[in-house]
Structure 1
Amino acid sequence: MTTVQEKQKIQQAFKERMDEDELLNCMRCGFCLPSCPTYIESGFKESHSPRGRIALMKAVVDGVIEPDEEVERTLDLCLGCRACEPVCPSGVNYGHLLEEARDIINQNKKHSLPARIVRKTVFEGLFPHPDRMRMVTNLLGIYQRSGLQKAVHTTGVMKLFPESMATMERVLPQVPKLKEMKERPTSLSSIGEVRKKVAFFSGCLMDTMFLETNKATTKLLQLAGCDIVIPETQTCCGALHGHSGEKDAAKGLAKRNIEAFEANGVDYIITNAGGCGAFLVDYDHLLKDDPDWQDRALRFKNKIKDISSILVELEFHKKPLTVPPQRITYQDSCHLRNVQRTFVEPRLLLQSVEGADYVEMKQADHCCGSAGIYNIVESDMSMKILDHKMENVEDTRATTIITSNPGCLLQMKLGIEREDLSDKMRAIHIVDFLLEAVD
């Protein structure tokens, strides 16, 4: 329960920190409504739409309403997919408004003790520290390899957990051993003629739980003619912090990453996770009020490029690429499409693979319901969105669903498991699929 004093502090902070020009940019035209998953799944509830949430933010700024639990709830229910931004005729930066509002609320209210412990553990104790991420991931690997996971399934212990969590546990990838996670190269040479020098943003979850996908990414870059630098001092991108009202922590991580990459003299900084890439290209906005970092953040931003974009630039799609006959479809990463505006390149690559019958999915640009940890903290809404997504997947009659973000990948695997389609369909990251086509 938010106290009267907390509401007053939140309201004052809204007046001081919210960008009123950006709030006024919204013309209330409603172009965003068909693109908003929570608006659709809530039965067209106006307060769960982008323009409804902007109206609530403006009302708090103007003192028309209090920043009560209902306001906080509607902001929390937003996926942050930013599908409203490309269709907005006024170009409203909704994602920036949402993150600022969440940060204001988080910084000016007192969380329960369990919530404070969880937030401190996750945001301060885990994600900013690569060594700790590797240790925690290694515990998962021990659970998988020791036979404990099989025993848990046999005894039915997972039935005590919510259905979505129990299913998610079954679709987690087989994680590498600790030694493999630690023995990561800091540079790799091109295979053949050098065409570009790039740095690779390895991420936190990507470089632990999805290490094989990172390896596939660097292999493709080498084959495309890239010398690769992998800075050891890079850290978590800060997306989870920024989306969860921990903006100061996100700024700290941004500065660490800028420092890690800026001295390498590379043409591009390559990402393979849509969510990370979208937050990295927003570093200039994140640090806009810090004159010592503004220009550095902008230079960093201008070098960010998704793996699919550089592969197309280097004409990788013109190489011989072949897979066994299969029907494939593609699920967009919301942030890769809506923030980085990268959606043609993945499709061009996939359509160039011989043996792959590419079928465009209906509403492939709509969110799958993953949204970071949204499918854990807002499971009911996430599963409603996923159920509709799987209807569209099944309509394609594809045997392979391809994604470009780890959260989307796990969500699609979750959907396949929920629909009992594991013997007919698989989900795979685009770089893993392309490496199959090369091999």
Structure 2
Amino acid sequence: MTIEQAFTERMDEGELMNCMRCGFCLPSCPTYIQTGGDEVHSPRGRIALMKAVHDGIIPVTDEMTNSLDVCLGCRACEPVCPAGVQYGQLLEEARSIIQDYKKPSLKEKIVRKTVLNELFPKNEQMNRAVGLVRFYQTSGLQKGIRKIGFLKLFPESMREMEQVLPAIPKKVQSDRRRLLATGEKKATVAFFQGCLMDTMFQGTNQNTIRLLQSAGCDIVIPEDQGCCGALHGHAGEKNKAVDMAKRNIEAFETMEADYIVMNAGGCGAFLAGYDHLLSQDEQWRERAGRFKAKIRDFSSILIQHGFDKRIHFKKKPHRVTFQDSCHLRNGMGVCNEPRELIRMVEGADYVEMKNADGCCGSAGVYNLVQPKMSMQILDDKMENVMEVEPGVIVTANPGCLLQMKLGIERAGLGRQIEAVHLADYLMDE
């Protein structure tokens, strides 16, 4: 079978046909805007290319592959689409087909094997890798390398990301798999720890758990859970993503929990898409549907269970704004809850930022593989930030958090603005 035949067989023809080419998606698409209105880099343009290959009109070309690679996968086109086209599903299937048939370079093979096969799927490997970063930060090695200018040998995008890496805490080992609510119990939630969140942002996970307890939640933490598979799904590694989805479903379905809760928008949206990922597997389809029905972001749970009545935070007066996580907003439909929580904070002067629902340019590892486009989008985002002059930017996804920290540094505003995760903001008394 050729790659073109695979497009004909595997792409959802009905979903391709749903696109009416109306153009409602265009003002919401960051790459369409950044390329000056190039249809090849718009949602409807990409769908048109997919359909043309599916119908046998054109072959898969380098132009088409590049168009899909440049797409952020932010899914901002989905909420504004009058036909309800599931663009994210089409994008991931097209990338999966291309990945199955193309011949990767040696460099790409090494990166995919190291990062996607060995690092993210294996908790112990992730812990070791993050432990090395901690050693780099605490041993004096980081200061020495910066002083001698060794980082100049690396690409600019990697140098910039090194500057905004958070201080890695020492790994806290805990055998506690059930934590009780503070006060009256309202619900039992199963907590999805994530891979980066449970290592590089372990403190944020701990704060999230404390907030959930304060909202009356008993918390259970499945021991056998793993990476959600989002990076794999977005990178065309569909089979690997399927394996990881099955692992997580098995880990959580034995938990007697009302909800499955997480604090990373990218993870949440992909977890909520397990039903589609496993839709062709009769043995897993129903299990994935039950799993999806329980998925909630932690901010939704806090609002649902009257968080504001249980705990109050006092901070010095400050101006704060919120940057949406694309997948939290567009994939999970969560946008009001984080803002409600921020407004509850005493001393917070909340101001809405222009285009807060627009992508910041992070998109997983997009800022590493498409640095030019990513930085264009980020620089535009920072112009909107500077218009509202906040002291704090709050977001709800680790990639967005690092990207906003990077934007602050690029704009020379490190002394005026800080970027924090929503859970850390709420717990910083």
TM-score (norm 2): 0.98
Residues of 2 paired with 1:412 and 1:212: CA distance?
19
Q: Deviation of residue 281 (structure 1)?
A: 0.3
Please tell me the residue identity of whatever aligns with 1:169. E
Work out whether residues 317 and 348 of structure 1, in 8 Å CA contact, stay in contact via their aligned partners in 2.
no
CA drift of 1:177 comes to 2.3
Match of 1:4? none
Say whether residues 1:210 and 2:201 are aligned partners.
yes
DSSP-derived class of the 2:341 partner? helix
1:253 is paired with a residue whose SS is helix
Identity %: 61
Contact 1:202 1:271 in 2 (8 A): yes
Select the residue among 249, 264, 272 that pairs with 2:255.
264
CA contact (8 A) 1:326 1:399 kept: yes
Structure 2 counterpart SS, 1:292: helix
CA distance in structure 2 between the partners assigned to 1:260 and 1:403 by the alignment: 28
Match among 327, 330, 340 for residue 338 of structure 1: 330
Which residue does the alignment assign to 1:360?
Answer: 352
Counterparts of 1:317-396 in structure 2, within 5 Å, are 317-318=308-309, 319-396=311-388
Distance 1:159 1:222 in 2: 46
Identify the residue that residue 397 of structure 1 maps to in structure 2: 389
Contact conserved, 1:126 with 1:132, CA < 8 A, in 2?
Answer: yes
Tell me how many residue pairs correspond in the alignment: 428
In 2, Cα distance between equivalents of 1:392 and 1:185: 43
* Deviation sequence 1:262-321 (CA, Å, 0-9, x none): 011101010100000000000000000001111100000000000100000011134423
State the match for 2:152 in structure 1.
159
1:184 deviates by 5.7
Output the CA distance in 2 between the equivalents of 1:163 and 1:241. 25
Q: Given the alignment, which residue of 109, 113, 120 partners 1:120?
A: 113
Match of 1:413 in 2: 405
Q: Which moved more, 1:17-26 or 1:168-177?
A: 168-177
CA RMSD for the aligned pairs? 1.0
Deviation per CA, 1:159-211: give whole Å up to 9, x if none.
Answer: 22222321210110111224x2x436322111111111111000000000000
Read off the aligned partner of 1:275 and give its amino acid letter. G
Pick the aligned partner of 1:49 from 42, 45, 49.
42
Q: Which of 161, 176, 180 is equivalent to 2:169? A: 176
Distance 1:184 1:65, change over 3 A: farther
What are structure 2's unaligned runs of at least 5 residues? Answer: none
Q: Match for residue 85 of structure 1?
A: 78
**Residues in 2 aligned to 1:184 and 1:209: alpha-carbon distance in whole angstroms:** 19
Is the aligned partner of 1:62 residue 2:55? yes
Distance 1:315 1:272 in 2: 18
Choose 139-148 or 313-322, whichever is displaced more: 313-322
> Secondary structure in 2 aligned to 1:232?
coil
- Which of these residues, 135, 141, 149, is aligned with residue 134 of structure 2? 141
Query: 1:27 corresponds to which residue?
Result: 20
Which residue identity is paired with 2:119?
Answer: L
